[in-house]
Amino acid sequence: MLGELRTGERRPLARLLTRVEGGDPSVRALLPDLFAAGHGGHLVGITGPPGSGKSTLVSALIGEWRKRGRRVGVLAVDPSSPYTRGAILGDRIRMMEHAADRDVFMRSMASRGELGGLAATTWIAAAALDAAGFDPILIETVGAGQSEVEIARLAETTVVVEVPEMGDEVQAIKAGLLEVADIIAVNKGDRPGADRAARQLRAMLSTAGGRIERKPPPVLVTTATTAEGVPALVDAIEAHRSTARSPMRARERAASQVRRALADLAARHAEADPGWEASVQAVADRELDPFTAAERLLDAGRLE
Amino acid sequence: MLGELRTGERRPLARLLTRVEGGDPSVRALLPDLFAAGHGGHLVGITGPPGSGKSTLVSALIGEWRKRGRRVGVLAVDPSSPYTRGAILGDRIRMMEHAADRDVFMRSMASRGELGGLAATTWIAAAALDAAGFDPILIETVGAGQSEVEIARLAETTVVVEVPEMGDEVQAIKAGLLEVADIIAVNKGDRPGADRAARQLRAMLSTAGGRIERKPPPVLVTTATTAEGVPALVDAIEAHRSTARSPMRARERAASQVRRALADLAARHAEADPGWEASVQAVADRELDPFTAAERLLDAGRLE
């Protein structure tokens, strides 16, 4: 199975990802080997609000990395579950130019709707692409909420895509940027005010305070539709690779992964517990608080 | 302590919330009584993108509920952690008109930065406001990511605030709306196109498919700055109260609360385990996959 993956064939990889996404329990046994088979591909998160042109930018990034002879993997993560199939497919069409390239592998990952499911599934899928030798592996997410922060923590380098018209959202954007961005791309750079927006962002970030051990992230202007600025963005991403692999950052990332896996495991054990339904009902009836219910379920697991 | 809360005095409530937000472990012992002391206040989530005028709308909602003789609690949840203090304080200033009203209690909750911390903290804070007799209890969040979906699952009724200019983001908005919205407010209703945007949303939602057991959420136009449309929005929220308390929805909400508490507990136990640091290092060094690490930590807890 892992041998097949390493040949670089698409079919075994696609089959494995279907099992991962479907929550196939037999995937669990593969993980130690899958993880060990990694080639150390660069995990790059691409996030930003809807309408910022993320998908077009991802397509342009793929083009640039292909010019540089790299095999590129893309996971498009959709936190809003079954409903967005349409939106995701629409976005995917923009990437069709790479659909025939066997050194580009693209896949949409839908949310399972359950807490934690998506981050864990994405992480395993990224490990599979890594074992199959793709480098970089791009993880595209929509929005700027907690799930993006979480997925950004799993990625080694996170690019936040913004548009020139930030207006009065700038304070909120600033906060979100500082939390997750290693690099900021002001996309739709052919619109008026793009350079000015980039300068404002740079000025704002340089006086941000906050975590002083981090330099402010570089701000680049890109025009995804013409690929202008895209080579410079790829250079910036490549330059960030070594920073991302500092022992401290690697440990932070590992701790997030373990916490995420713990949450998934604890929920799975509890839901399989014979007391699960009664505990949930007692909480719904306000006879029990959720924390006491959780403690009892965790303790019940221990006594098995 | 709970007796003090029930007097409706602000100071004991403020002190308790400080302990909750600070992660004071002694809060744990209070939870069963806190939960049991609830008055069944209506938990209303208010979410939407930055710039949609959420805070001004919350202020207008407070005004309307006060006219109806209700005591209103507000938790403003900020997922982007220390950095947004400024933004949140700015928003709070708009609510100053209610600052002197002792039947309005407002509080900003910052993220603890850790997985799950925020949702759990918010839930406990809401339970405290409920024990203190506030009804409704508004939970205001920024954005439309996973954390908002999670917080929306804890709320009984979720209002999503949008602006008339949705443009090509409409597909993404649709997806997010269907996931969380019980009611949609198209705010800034005095801007051109507000009614048209509301009609488009209604048409889109009526053909959405998806979960057929749910009616499409009502779409209302509001102008928070003049309070136009706000009484109708309050009516819609009140009308949703009984739907929200159906046995099925109550169970779904309870299950989410228990899963969230399980994730928190499992992480806390694991981080206190003597093997935690070594496990995280092994994952960082790619000697161990996160799932195996999590299983071992969970098993180690069991053998204690």
Is residue B197 located within the same domain as residue B227? Answer: yes
Is residue A145 located within the same domain as residue A35? Answer: yes
Identify the band that residue A165 occupies on the pLDDT scale cut at 50, 70 and 90: confident
Q: Domain residues for A292?
A: 259-303
Residues of chain B contacting residue A290, judged by C-beta atoms under 8 Å apart: 123, 254, 257-258, 260-261
pLDDT of A55-81, one tens digit each? Answer: 889 999 999 999 999 999 999 876 544
More confident residue, A4 or A292: A292
Residues of chain A contacting residue B145, judged by C-beta atoms under 8 Å apart: 79, 143-149
Residue B249: inside a domain: no
Residue A251: inside a domain: no
Is residue B126 located within the same domain as residue B231? Answer: yes
Q: Is A115 in contact with B260 (Cβ distance < 8 A)?
A: yes
More confident residue, A135 or A3: A135
Average pLDDT, chain B: 81
pLDDT of B215-236, one tens digit each? Answer: 788 999 999 999 999 999 999 9
Q: Is B266 in contact with A293 (Cβ distance < 8 A)?
A: no
Q: Is A291 in contact with B28 (Cβ distance < 8 A)?
A: yes
Residue A252: inside a domain: no
Residues of chain A contacting residue B114, judged by C-beta atoms under 8 Å apart: 259
pLDDT at residue A167 is higher than 70: no
Residue A272: inside a domain: yes
Residue B284: inside a domain: yes
Q: Is B288 in contact with A32 (Cβ distance < 8 A)?
A: yes
ipTM (interface pTM):
0.80
| pLDDT above 70: percentage of residues in chain B | 78
* pLDDT at site B69: 96
CA distance A8 to chain B (A): 21
Is residue A203 located within the same domain as residue A279? Answer: no
pLDDT at residue A280 is higher than 70: yes
* pLDDT at site A116: 47
Is residue A111 located within the same domain as residue A234? Answer: yes
Q: What is the mean pLDDT of residues B59-66?
A: 95
CATH code assigned at A105: 3.40.50.300
How far out from the chain centre does Cα B187 lie?
Answer: 19
Identify the band that residue B85 occupies on the pLDDT scale cut at 50, 70 and 90: very low
For β-strands A137-141 and A43-47, DSSP reports them as parallel
pLDDT of A192-206, one tens digit each? Answer: 889 988 988 888 777
Domain boundary among B244, B276, B293: B244
Identify the band that residue B84 occupies on the pLDDT scale cut at 50, 70 and 90: very low
* pLDDT at site A79: 52
pLDDT of B237-263, one tens digit each? Answer: 999 999 889 999 889 889 988 988 898
CA distance B161 to chain A (A): 15
Identify the band that residue B92 occupies on the pLDDT scale cut at 50, 70 and 90: low
* pLDDT at site A143: 56
Residue A253: inside a domain: no
Q: Is B284 in contact with A254 (Cβ distance < 8 A)?
A: yes
Q: Which residues sit opposite B13 in a β-bridge?
A: none
Residue B278: inside a domain: yes
Q: Which of B79, B84, B262 sits opposite A298 (nearest CB)?
A: B262
Measured CA to CA, the distance from residue A11 to residue A6 in angstroms comes to 12
When divided into structural domains, chain A yields a total of 2
Q: Which of B31, B144, B267 sits opposite A143 (nearest CB)?
A: B144
Three-state SS string over chain B comes to: CHHHHHCCCHHHHHHHHHHHHCCCCCHHHHHHHHHHCCCCCCEEEEEECCCCCHHHHHHHHHHHHHHCCCCEEEEEEECCHHHHHHHHHHHHHCCHHHCCCCCEEEEEEECCCCCCHHHHHHHHHHHHHHHCCCCCEEEEECECCHHHHHHHHHCCEEEEEECCCCHHHHHHHHHHHHHHCCEEEECCCCCCCHHHHHHHHHHHHHCCCCCCCCCCCCEEECECCCCECHHHHHHHHHHHHHHHCCHHHHHHHHHHHHHHHHHHHHHHHHHHCCCHHHHHHHHHCCCCCHHHHHHHHHHHHHHC
* pLDDT at site A8: 72
